[in-house]
């Protein structure tokens, strides 16, 4: 069955692959190869990650002293730019546009995405949006917070709101196009034998993500246009002095931005499913439940946005409904965590780096998810909303969850992407540094939040000093933790040992039937799937081969 996997007679570097098929800048900037586009995205989002991270470092430095070290406007711009860049230019595209772009066509057994040119277009749009945002940064920054709340953003802020909003508006289209490409590819481009119930969970997770991208992102685009109309033409939509309603802005903003939280975490969950299965050598426990929980999250994510408005003046009964729905959306997330854990039961568990990140993800996402329940519980949300408790909560999900998954996925598929192995010792060390640094940075913020320290404060009361110093200390460790992989991965890309075809003995088309690194059209022979996903135990329960 898996005999299609053949040893390669020639050393890898002699074989033509997507990296050495063509040279020169044109072969990259005008490529329609999903793998090359994935790399374009990889380099761009890494750059944005370090820009956004630099802002975070400056914020933490400012907070070393209760009186702050920078002036207030500078600090306000720092957290705004940190938020905008990290959310719209790192987290939203992170896993889908890099790993998803690279792997989905290979995982479903296709030569490319359904629309290769649209895929390239989405990268150009992303860069175009990024240029708007970076222009706003260079020309002096924005100070509205990444949430752009009206009427501050529409009327009172005298910074580059329009430029930043344009950046968000434009980059949204790249997200829509990526989602559209994924949905159609997953529906129409699966190879013979790749039935829905054999799809890797990575693909299921991205399918759910793509649905949110396509359905939700237009709303943020509309919101940004209305914001611009209000700011430039005083249209009277959000500003009460012009007859508008500021709460309307919050509804529109969160109607996208809460589902967007799931755009940012579902792909992380998708990566973890692959990693846990491979390093436990087990089929994912409850495959169907994990697959459908992604769809459940995607659907429910659209009916929870009002939990951001419990103290905004929204009707109490609306708040009650949103509180209930927010509890409900936690169930599919819990199902995933339990199933990953159960997958490890009686497995053959290796402690390789990607699995370390998966351990980290499961633990930290659990904390992030459970503290989400605190925020869904209305009487507690009233106290902790807009405090550091919220900051800690979403960093546990976004950094402890998504970034851990992203790092895990990068290591897992690094041999696939580059054809080389990364240094395992350094990688384990960096994973540990990141885990320690992360917890030291963000755990104290839960305590700070319940004690009452509001978010977005350039200065703070004396009694919050010790915990803030602790958090800054953690941030410096975390920063180092992110730089180490940059160095050894860059080194390994050029000088690392050549990777065998399937270094982890993993299952899946990308490891078993596509050469490492893949050729431009991904497969030497048309791929065919004859067994269920994650068939690590070698049971061939589905004997019939349905071709065509």
Partner 1 sequence: MGSFSIFPERASTSAGEVDALYGFLLIVGITMTVLIFACVFFFAIKYRRRSDQERPQLIHGSLPLEIAWSVIPFLVMLVMFAWGTKLYFQNYTLPYKDTLDIYVTGKQWMWKIQYPGGQREINELHVPTGRAVKLILASEDVIHSFFIPAFRLKHDVVPGSYQTYWFEATKPGRYHIFCAEYCGTNHSRMTGWVTVMEPAAYQTWLSGGSEGGSLVAQGAKLFQQYGCVSCHLTDTQGRCPSLRNVFGNPVVLEDGRTVVADESYIRESILNPNAKIVKGYHRDIMPVFQGQIGEEGLLQLIVYIKSLSTPAPPQTAATKGSPTQVPK
Q: How far is the CB of 283 from partner 1 (least distance, A)?
A: 6
Residue 443 near residue 388 (C-beta atoms within 8 A): no
Stretch that binds partner 1, among 91-99, 200-208, 340-348, 420-428 (CB under 8 A): 340-348
Residue 312 sits in the site that holds partner 1 (CB under 8 A) = yes
* DSSP state at residue 518: P
Cα distances from 175 to residues 113, 430, 461, in angstroms, run 15, 30, 41
Residue 48 sits in the site that holds partner 1 (CB under 8 A) = no
Residue 240 or 526 with smaller CB distance to partner 1: 240
Residue 536 sits in the site that holds partner 1 (CB under 8 A) = yes
Among 215, 299, 370, 484, binds partner 1 (CB under 8 A): 370
Give the three-class secondary structure for 547.
coil
Using CB under 8 A as the binding rule, the residues of this chain from 142 to 161 that contact partner 1 are 143, 145, 149, 151-152, 155-157
Residue 323 sits in the site that holds partner 1 (CB under 8 A) = yes
Question: Which residues neighbour 215 within 8 Å (Cβ) at sequence distance 6 or greater?
Answer: 259, 302
Q: How far is the CB of 462 from partner 1 (least distance, A)?
A: 11
Between vectors from CA 537 to CA 334 and to CA 357, what angle results, nearest 5°? 45
Among 73, 480, 486, 498, binds partner 1 (CB under 8 A): 73
Q: How far is the CB of 127 from partner 1 (least distance, A)?
A: 29
Measuring CA to CA, which residue among 135, 156, 145, 134 is closest to residue 80? 145
Stretch that binds partner 1, among 12-20, 177-185, 225-233, 333-341 (CB under 8 A): 333-341
Rounded CA gap, 380 and 178, in Å? Answer: 38
Using CB under 8 A as the binding rule, the residues of this chain from 439 to 458 that contact partner 1 are 447, 450-452, 454-458
Among 385, 468, 513, 516, binds partner 1 (CB under 8 A): 385
Q: Which residue has the tokens 């790249």?
A: 174
- Angle formed by the axes of helices 404-418 and 465-495, to 10°? 10
Residue 491 sits in the site that holds partner 1 (CB under 8 A) = no
Residue 71 or 546 with smaller CB distance to partner 1: 71
Token representation of residue 126:
């992303």
Q: Which residues pair with 387 in a beta bridge?
A: 454
Q: How far is the CB of 117 from partner 1 (least distance, A)?
A: 41
Rounded CA gap, 54 and 197, in Å? Answer: 43
Residue 504 sits in the site that holds partner 1 (CB under 8 A) = no
Measuring CA to CA, which residue among 544, 506, 365 is closest to residue 438? 365
Rounded CA gap, 39 and 378, in Å? Answer: 43
Phi, psi torsion values for 420, nearest 5 degrees? -130, 160
Using CB under 8 A as the binding rule, the residues of this chain from 458 to 487 that contact partner 1 are 458-461, 466
Among 121, 247, 469, 473, binds partner 1 (CB under 8 A): 247
Q: How far is the CB of 410 from partner 1 (least distance, A)?
A: 21
Q: How far is the CB of 439 from partner 1 (least distance, A)?
A: 12
Q: Is the peptide bond before 151 cis (omega within 30 degrees of 0)?
A: yes
Residue 328 sits in the site that holds partner 1 (CB under 8 A) = yes
Question: Which residues neighbour 300 within 8 Å (Cβ) at sequence distance 6 or greater?
Answer: 325, 328, 329, 332
Token representation of residue 393:
């909560």
Residue 7 or 538 with smaller CB distance to partner 1: 538
Dihedral sign for Cα 163, 168, 169, 170, please.
positive
Residue 543 sits in the site that holds partner 1 (CB under 8 A) = no
Size of the site for partner 1 (CB under 8 A): 94
Q: How far is the CB of 227 from partner 1 (least distance, A)?
A: 14
Stretch that binds partner 1, among 84-92, 112-120, 320-328, 513-521 (CB under 8 A): 320-328
Among 11, 24, 538, 548, binds partner 1 (CB under 8 A): 538
3-class secondary structure per residue, 252-272: HHHHHHHHHHHHHHHHHHHHH
Among 115, 128, 374, 429, binds partner 1 (CB under 8 A): 374
Q: How far is the CB of 280 from partner 1 (least distance, A)?
A: 7
Residue 292 sits in the site that holds partner 1 (CB under 8 A) = no
Rounded CA gap, 342 and 282, in Å? Answer: 10
Residue 359 sits in the site that holds partner 1 (CB under 8 A) = yes
Residue 229 sits in the site that holds partner 1 (CB under 8 A) = no
Give the three-class secondary structure for 421.
coil
Measuring CA to CA, which residue among 117, 61, 58 is closest to residue 85? 58
Residue 283 sits in the site that holds partner 1 (CB under 8 A) = yes
Cα distances from 140 to residues 48, 225, 481, in angstroms, run 18, 22, 30
Residue 70 sits in the site that holds partner 1 (CB under 8 A) = no
Stretch that binds partner 1, among 40-48, 117-125, 191-199, 380-388 (CB under 8 A): 380-388
Residue 285 sits in the site that holds partner 1 (CB under 8 A) = yes
Q: How far is the CB of 91 from partner 1 (least distance, A)?
A: 20
């Amino acid at each position: 069955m898996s005999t299609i996997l053949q040893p390669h007679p020639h050393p890898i570097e002699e074989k033509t692959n997507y990296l050495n098929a063509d040279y020169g800048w044109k072969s990259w900037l005008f490529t329609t190869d999903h793998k090359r586009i994935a790399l374009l995205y990889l380099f761009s989002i890494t750059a944005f990650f370090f820009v956004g991270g630099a802002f975070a470092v400056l914020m933490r430095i400012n907070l070393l002293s209760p009186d702050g070290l920078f002036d207030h406007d500078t600090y306000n711009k720092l957290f705004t730019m940190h938020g905008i860049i990290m959310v719209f230019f790192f987290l939203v595209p992170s896993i889908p546009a890099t790993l998803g772009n690279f792997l989905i066509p290979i995982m479903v057994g296709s030569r490319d995405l359904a629309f290769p040119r649209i895929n390239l277009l989405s990268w150009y749009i992303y860069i175009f949006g990024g240029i708007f945002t970076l222009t706003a940064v260079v020309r002096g920054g924005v100070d509205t917070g990444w949430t752009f709340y009206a009427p501050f953003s529409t009327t009172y802020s005298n910074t580059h709101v329009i430029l930043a909003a344009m950046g968000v508006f434009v980059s949204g289209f790249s997200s829509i196009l990526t989602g559209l490409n994924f949905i159609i590819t997953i529906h129409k481009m699966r190879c013979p034998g790749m039935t829905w119930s054999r799809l890797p969970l990575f693909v299921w997770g991205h399918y759910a993500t793509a649905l949110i991208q396509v359905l939700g992102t237009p709303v943020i685009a509309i919101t940004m246009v209305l914001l611009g109309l209000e700011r430039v033409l005083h249209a009277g939509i959000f500003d009460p002095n012009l007859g508008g309603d500021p709460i309307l802005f919050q509804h529109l903003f969160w109607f996208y931005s809460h589902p967007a939280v799931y755009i940012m975490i579902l792909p992380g969950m998708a990566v973890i499913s692959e990693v846990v299965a491979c390093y436990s050598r087990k089929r994912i426990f409850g495959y169907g439940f994990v697959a459908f929980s992604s769809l459940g999250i995607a659907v429910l994510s659209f009916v929870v946005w009002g939990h951001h408005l419990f103290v905004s003046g929204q009707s109490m009964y609306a708040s009650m409904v949103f509180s209930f729905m927010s509890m409900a959306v936690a169930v599919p997330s819990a199902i995933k965590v339990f199933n990953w854990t159960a997958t490890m039961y009686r497995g053959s568990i290796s402690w390789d780096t990607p699995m370390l990140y998966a351990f980290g993800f499961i633990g930290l996402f659990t904390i992030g998810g459970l503290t989400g329940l605190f925020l869904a519980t209305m009487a507690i949300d009233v106290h902790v909303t807009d405090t550091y408790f919220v900051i800690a909560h979403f960093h546990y999900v976004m950094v402890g969850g998504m970034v851990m998954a992203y790092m895990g996925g990068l290591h897992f598929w690094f041999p696939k992407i580059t054809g080389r192995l990364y240094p395992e010792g350094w990688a384990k060390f960096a994973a540990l540094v990141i885990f320690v640094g992360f917890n030291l940075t963000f755990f104290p913020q839960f305590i700070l939040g319940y004690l009452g320290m509001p978010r977005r404060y350039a200065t703070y009361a004396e009694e919050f000093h010790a915990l803030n110093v602790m958090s800054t200390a953690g941030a410096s460790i975390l920063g180092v933790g992110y730089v180490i992989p940059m160095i050894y991965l860059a080194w390994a890309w050029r000088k690392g040992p050549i990777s065998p075809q399937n270094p982890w003995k993993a299952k899946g088309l990308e490891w078993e039937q596509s050469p490492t690194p893949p050729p431009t059209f991904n497969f030497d022979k048309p791929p065919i799937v004859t067994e269920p996903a994650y068939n690590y135990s070698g049971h061939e329960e589905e004997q019939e081969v349905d071709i065509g």
